[in-house]
Structure 1
Amino acid sequence: MNPIRLAIVRQKYRPDGGAERFISRALEALKEQNLSLNVITREWQGEQNPDWNIFQCNPSKWGRISRERGFAKAARAIWQQEKFDLVQSHERIPGCDIYRAGDGVHRRWLLQRARILPVWRQKLLFNDRYHRYVMNAEKEMYSAPELKAVICNSEMIKQEIIEDFGVPESKIAVIYNAIDSQRFIPGNEQIRLQIRNQLGIRPDASCLIYVGSGFERKGLESAIRAVSKTSRYLFVIGKDKAEKHYKNLANQLGCHDRIHFLGVQNNVLPYYQAADGLILPTLYDPFPNVILEAMACGLPIITSNSCGGSEFIEQGKNGFICDALDINALTIAINELPEQAIDSHMGELARKRVINQNAGLLSQQLVELYQRLMSI
């Protein structure tokens, strides 16, 4: 039997990106299956797996709309020429067989972002040419006759797609991301003390961790405001061009000595293992990988009800779900967390909840989907 020729489309492959980690884990999980794996991308950073066929296309661009439109046209030309059996796009490109909605629904993100903007900027946001282009591309893609299936990484996104685009529920598969729970494991007192010594934090301090680049969307301001009202410390892992603004905010709130900006880390694991909880009051996030990673490390979670990852949280048992902008609720949640995650009941329940979200399950669900689509 000839292998299924699967093409995965992602404009920019960056090893630390959430969607890219899904792709790498999915491809790794699928390598033992009867599949020929192909990737269509503008730019591939990091190592290339010799078992994958990489098709790079980097058309000229003169701005964001030109970049999106140019890549969509070039990628579509490649998959039409190669005649792949299935094309799974992680970009909003009409004509693909499968779309993975890893970025959620663009209009829903704009609605959440509008909550933190003055009225005059809200109007500009929805009239912005780029945002209108993305929303139109989404609409065209979901209505394209070629679309056979949509992969969502949360029930939240599934419901948004049904409500906004009228996609039949039968076309949508919810497949959660995978986590390597053999690598992401709870820490110990040695790691805890090592990181605290490294950062000049007292040994008995209780520390939360925030992981994510794009501080506005991921809710860093809310996290800092809530932490400022407690005695906890915060590790900030990630980058943002407006980092100075958040440092100034910590200064204004009088908690700058407890907020540690650590930048992008190639290996976040020691920081998870040294922390006592994850706080991610994101304005909008389909399902960030960091929630799985932190839970696998035995950390209770505080996140928002506009985050698909909240589907893994049992309120008050392995974490808390709050509105992203409700500082009072976030503060209460922080104070309800155990002072130390190691050996805590909440931490144990967090790890137990994600322990089966492994690469084998991801592979099984994807292969079943591909086989079903090939039989149509």
Structure 2
Amino acid sequence: MATDPATTQRKLAHIHLGVDGGAEKFFVRLSRALAKRGVEQIAFIRHDRPWRDELAEHCEVHELKFSRSHFKRHFIRWGIARDIRNFGAKTTLGWMSPASKWLPKPGPDMRTFLRLGDFPDGFHTYGNVEDLIGNTPEIVRQAVEAGWPADRAHMISNFVDPLPDSLQPVSRAEFDTPEDAAVLIALGRFVERKRFDLIIRALAQLPETVHAWLIGDGELQEDMQRLARDLGVENRTHFLGWQRDPSPFLSAADILVCPSDEEPLGNVVLEGWNADLPVVATASQGPGWLIEHGKTGLLSACGDADGLAGSIYLLVSNESEKTTLTVNARTTLAERFTIEAISNQYLQQFGLQH
């Protein structure tokens, strides 16, 4: 199908194979923000994604069954390229490495980008990738160090949506948490690198008035529950499961904790700032870049439960320190991580700005 060049200027295609997590949330946020800027979009995703209907509110959605078969992959990729061409987009953005093998072939009428929210582990499927976009300087640095051309590697970070004025915090009573408790909140998968065990070990060193809400699920959840029992903090450690929208929980908490050993960005840091929570984190790659220690949050060494407990205790016992960190973090969020600023960077990179 022939397309009018005038209609292709503000069109973008996405390929996203993810399930449900921080990367998927940002995908929906960014595509919505670009739609509000007048960019028409088409997205190719797997069947039955929980965010499919939300995405479809502003984006044409094609649900596909992606195949590992080399023979079938050829036809699926050809079908994607055909649909993109018929849609009229001349730019395609793949999300994370698994999407790289489905990108159309770049050429005079097609630019291809791959957006990375994690560290690259090789480029063997990147044959159709022209440019990489990493959401932290460290991701870009590691890609270039691994051999990716520096002039084709770009850094654009994330944003979070402002919380609605109508947002109602969850009731602490529903989760067996006293109203006067100091509530720590952490979000993520219960996997080794997220180090939820550090929060539990820190909690054992903190006053009885401190409780922890752990939001997420994963293979190590039973191990974490056992650790809480062993350390005698089972009644203060609350496992709240995976929450698609953690905003009401953030609004009801007091301190956000990010204890990861490896965290490429730490979108939860932005979410904590957005909810006016002071942030305590270990100095993994992303939080170490986002947070200015003592100004916009508190950092301690990775794997150091004592250091994490010390940072938390400082905030629990010093309301003035909490206020200072929160005010400074809100300023940083407004200056560097707004919807407008990040959207403008993507539009400029894609050549879709007015």
Q: 2:139 aligns with which of 151, 157, 172?
A: 157
Residues 1:176 and 2:157 are matched in the alignment: yes
Q: Please say if residues 42 and 56 of structure 1, whose CA atoms lie closer than 8 Å, have aligned partners that are also in contact.
A: yes
Task: Give the residue type in structure 2 aligned to 1:359.
Answer: I
Deviations 1:173-216 (A, max 9, x none): 221111123438999xxx5xx73333333333212101112332
Q: Please say if residues 32 and 58 of structure 2, whose CA atoms lie closer than 8 Å, have aligned partners that are also in contact.
A: no
Aligned to 1:30: 34
Q: Please say if residues 285 and 307 of structure 1, whose CA atoms lie closer than 8 Å, have aligned partners that are also in contact.
A: yes
Q: 2:185 aligns with which of 209, 212, 232?
A: 209
- Root-mean-square deviation over aligned CA pairs: 2.9
Aligned-pair distance for 1:315? 0.5
Residues 1:86 and 2:91 are matched in the alignment: yes
Deviations 1:278-319 (A, max 9, x none): 111112222232211111111121223324133221112221
The 1:72–1:284 alpha-carbon spacing in structure 2 relative to 1, beyond 3 Å, is: farther
Residues 1:283 and 2:261 are matched in the alignment: yes
Residues 1:358 and 2:346 are matched in the alignment: no
- What percentage of aligned pairs have identical amino acids? 23
For structure 2, the residue ranges without an aligned partner over 5 or more in a row are 1-5, 105-111
The 1:9–1:70 alpha-carbon spacing in structure 2 relative to 1, beyond 3 Å, is: farther
Aligned to 2:24: 20
Aligned to 2:107: none
Residues 1:367 and 2:343 are matched in the alignment: no
Q: Secondary structure at the match of 1:233?
A: strand
Residues 1:100 and 2:115 are matched in the alignment: yes
Aligned to 1:3: 8
Aligned to 2:61: 54
Q: 1:348 aligns with which of 290, 304, 327?
A: 327
Task: Give the residue type in structure 2 aligned to 1:25.
Answer: R
Q: Secondary structure at the match of 2:61?
A: strand
Task: Give the residue type in structure 2 aligned to 1:2.
Answer: T
For structure 1, the residue ranges without an aligned partner over 5 or more in a row are 61-65, 107-134
Distance 2:261 2:39 in 1: 37
Aligned-pair distance for 1:70? 8.6
Q: Secondary structure at the match of 1:337?
A: helix
| Structure 1: 4+ residue segments shifted above 6 A | 69-72, 184-187, 340-343
Q: Secondary structure at the match of 1:173?
A: strand
Q: Secondary structure at the match of 1:240?
A: coil
Distance 1:323 1:294 in 2: 20
> How do 1:124-135 residues align onto structure 2 when only pairs under 5 Å count?
135=122
> How do 1:217-232 residues align onto structure 2 when only pairs under 5 Å count?
217-231=193-207, 232=210
Residues 1:260 and 2:238 are matched in the alignment: yes
> How do 1:183-332 residues align onto structure 2 when only pairs under 5 Å count?
183=164, 195-231=171-207, 232-332=210-310
- Of stretches 243-252 and 280-289 in structure 1, the one that deviates more from structure 2 is 280-289
Name the TM-score, length of structure 2 as normaliser: 0.82
Aligned to 1:110: none
Distance 1:307 1:185 in 2: 34
The 1:71–1:213 alpha-carbon spacing in structure 2 relative to 1, beyond 3 Å, is: farther
Aligned-pair distance for 1:101? 0.6
Q: Secondary structure at the match of 1:20?
A: helix
Q: Please say if residues 210 and 280 of structure 1, whose CA atoms lie closer than 8 Å, have aligned partners that are also in contact.
A: yes
Q: Secondary structure at the match of 2:254?
A: coil
Aligned-pair distance for 1:252? 0.8
Distance 1:337 1:300 in 2: 8
Aligned-pair distance for 1:13? 4.8
Q: Secondary structure at the match of 2:261?
A: coil
Aligned-pair distance for 1:3? 2.9
The 1:223–1:165 alpha-carbon spacing in structure 2 relative to 1, beyond 3 Å, is: farther
Task: Give the residue type in structure 2 aligned to 1:173.
Answer: H
Distance 2:164 2:74 in 1: 39
By relative contact order (CA 8 Å, sep 6+), the higher-ranking structure is: 1
> How do 1:107-146 residues align onto structure 2 when only pairs under 5 Å count?
135=122, 138-141=123-126, 144=127, 146=128
Q: Please say if residues 66 and 73 of structure 2, whose CA atoms lie closer than 8 Å, have aligned partners that are also in contact.
A: no
The 1:286–1:76 alpha-carbon spacing in structure 2 relative to 1, beyond 3 Å, is: farther
Equivalent pairs, count: 326
